[in-house]
Structure 1
Amino acid sequence: MKILLVTPPAVNDIGKVLFHTPPLGLLYLAAFLEKNGYPDIKVIDADAARIGWQALGDLFARENPDIIGITGVSRTLPAVFKTAEIAREKLPNSVIVVGGPGSAHEPEKVLKSAKGAINFIVKGEGELTFFELVRGIESGIKDFGNIAGLVFLNQDGNLVSAKPRDYIIDLDSLPWPAYHLLYPDLSQYHGMKADHKETPRPVATMFASRGCPHRCIFCSLQSKLWRGRNPKDVVAEMEFYKNKFGAKSIQLYDDEFLGLTPKQNEWIKEICDEIIKRKLGLKFLSQGRCSPYIDLETLKKMKEAGFVWIWWGVESGSQKVLDIIKKDIKIENVFRDFALAREAGIKSLAFIVVGFPGETAADIKLTGDLLRKLKPDLVKIHTLIPWPGTAVRKYFEEKNLLTPGFDYYKLDMRCPIAHRTEELTSREIMKYSKYLSFRFERGGYLGLIKLGLKSLLTADGWRKLFKRIRIFINYFFNWLEVSRSS
């Protein structure tokens, strides 16, 4: 049984969608299959390898796999569909399976896209589901409805959704991701933030835990149960990536690496103690949740172990908005935790989202005030997208606030055309998002000027410079409009 796992060229109708991390989900699938008797596997990251559509079709024809697995997130689903269409054209008898968070929430729409090329969708944690599917295909079974976590269309074209797959409780039972099967190799990856100079490449990604127990209304995360791995196994995996693949940094892909409970802090310190004991000399990036459970002792231990960045989901500077979206954090925790991270010597990135229900211009001003006082090392501004499967999507549908003709497959987080709210129009959401971006991202407007001048040092510098001048002018006049109205 020959299996090819693919990350498609990450483009959508908006343009290029850049990913700079290895396809961790596919690497877990490959490792699990290899461990359970399926050695003929390849993992191709067509995006990182800069494989175009024609070359991808040639690759499918050359490899001639029995099963093709394609992964994608919501905003890369157009690329997933095109990959499936090309695969079906080249290999009419191969089984095509799609997984990843983008495909799970509207499975019937996904299955009927790509000219019907997709045979199955894997929902939730995919290791066991995909393995059982591969085994079933190999043995020639006809009824796949008993494989938990699987979704497909039957011969009558009706949707069949098997029972949900249980969470994998013992994460230590899973083999480490199969980086040895990945093309291109790890040297091509520099992590999610290329401007994090403190995390030198190559950057490996891994999970120390899975799941988040919280209830944010805009989150499409399927795994709500937090499970942590054995600290010694976590660090052994880190050491393996350093010694085997030359990794210099590790990006922890955990949904919430810290900030959940005091017990989690003890788990973090065990990991850090093991890193220090082994003298790994690696740099680490993780995600955190602002909460009363963040403490200086844990952060200092993280710094000693090599943690240099924490990404925090701040979302808004308005407590009213945070309560509406059920973020379950307090503004005072945000200030406190950023101050503690700074005292420990760890840099912080603040994620902000504009366009929540109930959010007014005054609330967005509070967000700007918070960022001015907080002084995070980096700021990332997004506009809300009501992904299918989220509570906020249901809310907008019930209130008839979605943009007519809305197709979330064609959106990215810079395009706030998906909805309006009862307080703000779509244009106003865009306006305030640009305002915050111009003021706070990349060091604000001075940072944008520096970025434009830096463009002159690149091969296509003048083209990039003129493009950035146009963006700068657009954002400047938008900033001026908002400033005058405040």
Structure 2
Amino acid sequence: MAHFHIVYFDVDTGFYPSFHHGLAYIIGTLKEQGHHVTLDHLATLEDIPQGIARLDAIRPQIMGLSFTTNQFQYVRTFLSHEQRHKPLIVAGGVHCTLVKERLFQELPSIDALCIGEGELPMRDLGRAMDNGTDYTTTASMIFKTEKGFITNPVAPLPQLDDLALPDYTLFKYEQIIRDGGESFPMLLGRGCPYKCSYCCNHVLRDSYPNKKDYVRFPSIPRSIEIIQSNLKLYPNTRQILFADDTFTLNKKWIIPFCAEYKKVIPLPYICNARVETITEPVVESLKDSGCASIEFGIESGSEWLRKNLLNRHHSNDKIRQAFAIVRKHGIKTFAFNIVGIPFETNAMAQETFRFNQELRADYGRCFFFFPYPGSEIYEVAKKFDLLPDNLELVSGYTESPITKPMHQSHSDIRKNNERLNILFMVRSIGSKFGLHPILETVLVHSAIVFRKPIFLLLDPKSSNAWIRKTRWLIRTLFQRYLRGSNAKP
């Protein structure tokens, strides 16, 4: 049977290394077919030469590369090193699906691309290689040959119940879950029906012949089976984090799922939701089944910016209503926000700060806007000459503004990012210990004054070992004692 070696590029993103759920499902699929599978999870610059050395040592037949746009520079570095062993190199992920054949020019070492979800294409590629048949006819894949490109049709999306169970054993799962406060990230459903301009979901959806089936959930029995299988891997799990784009999207699925979850899974959980999906019956079901926190994308406090730039048409009142319903049922909230969006003014950024002050989410995070190739807002940034000259060298969206200045300076954008993240830091402490809102306000304004040393300590790009260790410790304490649940399995 074929030996698949997967290299997951997750280098210096500003996040603590975590699972890649798509790869977990691919690994499960390949193992089910009897293939030998190995994984390198590259999370630091130091991991890259080690990964190259390991490749020469294990000599796989197929090497799969998984990366986002942010990781392009590290993939190029990895492939630029001379390798004594040359496997068939297959690249996959959202970036590959968006740029397609252009990637062969950018990374000449690559032999093939996997378009869209990878379980079935990688399964079929392995079968063809084992059987000695022509693997260049594999559906959902593009191959580079001496005569040119072979572009095969994209296969229809499968039903999720037909896929193998995900396999997280090749990741450093004990460390990932433990450092996340004993919280096990999992993925059940797939796809998102919304068309946010900064996201690529609509492009991915349009890649498939059965795009109406893009949004899918496993059956409830299969969902419970996936969860129970994962929990066997780490029995000390204290909380589950469902990574589905919009866990509450399908009312006909979520309510009976909650009823069954309550019967057999004695653990609290966190999930993502859109404010449009929040209703009393849905939130009652979530609360009754152990939902501890719901994560929402607020993105901006400016309704004009959300509607005209982000293609998010809900009002601030709709957001207020959703937060009120969730808070009424005793579920905590998390607010994601973005600063540095094209056409954002400093006044709009102040709206975002004030709106988040009003919402009083228990937790939150603010990121810098990143123009992903293939997204609608990327074209806006390109049209108005906002794209940086070195976008491929940007590894994340947590450390500094990315696009060229428009109505705000980079200094202003950075300041607005820091102010919001300080607000969320203080709110997480206030939520945990019941601080009075007036005291929270005093702490926020005091921390804003001293924000430079605070963010020096939290710098995700710092090469200082002491700062990196301190940042890891702060994150671990936050996940375990501020964000994590006190419940035990």
Residue 266 (1) aligns with residue 252 (2): yes
Tell me what 1:47 maps to.
43
5+ residue gaps, structure 1, are: 195-199, 469-486
RMSD: 3.3
Tell me what 2:220 maps to.
231
Tell me what 2:460 maps to.
none
Tell me what 2:190 maps to.
210
**Alpha carbons 2:9, 2:67 under 8 Å: kept:** no
Partner deviation per Cα, 1:98-132 (whole Å, 9 max, x = no partner) = 21223332334533345x22211212111112222
Superposition TM-score, scaled by structure 1 size: 0.80
CA shift at 1:147, angstroms?
A: 3.1
Q: Which amino acid aligns with 1:91?
A: H
Tell me what 1:100 maps to.
93
Identity of aligned residues (%): 21
Tell me what 1:6 maps to.
6
Correspondence 1:238-317 to 2 at 5 A: 238-246=227-235, 247-258=237-248, 260=249, 264-278=250-264, 280-291=265-276, 293-317=277-301
Equivalent of 1:90, from 76, 81, 84? 84
Secondary structure, in 3 states, of the residue corresponding to 2:75? helix
CA distance in 1, matches of 2:295, 2:345: 26
Secondary structure, in 3 states, of the residue corresponding to 1:298? helix
Change (3 A) 1:463 1:227: closer
Correspondence 1:167-186 to 2 at 5 A: 167-168=157-158, 170-180=159-169, 182-184=170-172, 186=173
Correspondence 1:243-392 to 2 at 5 A: 243-246=232-235, 247-258=237-248, 260=249, 264-278=250-264, 280-291=265-276, 293-324=277-308, 325-392=310-377
Tell me what 1:25 maps to.
22
CA shift at 1:446, angstroms?
A: 5.8
CA shift at 1:213, angstroms?
A: 0.7
Partner deviation per Cα, 1:211-268 (whole Å, 9 max, x = no partner) = 001111110235442112111211222122223432333221211112x3xxx22311
Change (3 A) 1:16 1:384: closer
Equivalent of 1:125, from 98, 105, 117? 117
Q: Which has the higher contact order (CA 8 A, sep 6+)?
A: 2
Tell me what 1:480 maps to.
none
CA distance in 2, matches of 1:389, 1:91: 34
CA shift at 1:275, angstroms?
A: 1.4
CA distance in 2, matches of 1:374, 1:7: 41
Residue 58 (1) aligns with residue 53 (2): yes
**Alpha carbons 1:350, 1:380 under 8 Å: kept:** yes
Residue 71 (1) aligns with residue 66 (2): yes
Superposition TM-score, scaled by structure 2 size: 0.79
Aligned length: 436
Secondary structure, in 3 states, of the residue corresponding to 1:176? coil
5+ residue gaps, structure 2, are: 206-213, 428-443, 458-462, 472-489
CA distance in 1, matches of 2:7, 2:291: 29
Change (3 A) 1:441 1:155: farther
Q: Which amino acid aligns with 1:238?
A: I
Residue 38 (1) aligns with residue 19 (2): no
CA distance in 1, matches of 2:154, 2:16: 29
CA shift at 1:319, angstroms?
A: 1.2
CA distance in 1, matches of 2:234, 2:48: 29
Secondary structure, in 3 states, of the residue corresponding to 1:190? helix
Secondary structure, in 3 states, of the residue corresponding to 2:364? strand
CA distance in 2, matches of 1:445, 1:123: 48
Change (3 A) 1:165 1:83: farther
**Alpha carbons 1:4, 1:42 under 8 Å: kept:** yes
Change (3 A) 1:355 1:413: same
Change (3 A) 1:204 1:85: farther
Change (3 A) 1:61 1:465: closer
Tell me what 2:432 maps to.
none
Q: Which amino acid aligns with 1:290?
A: V
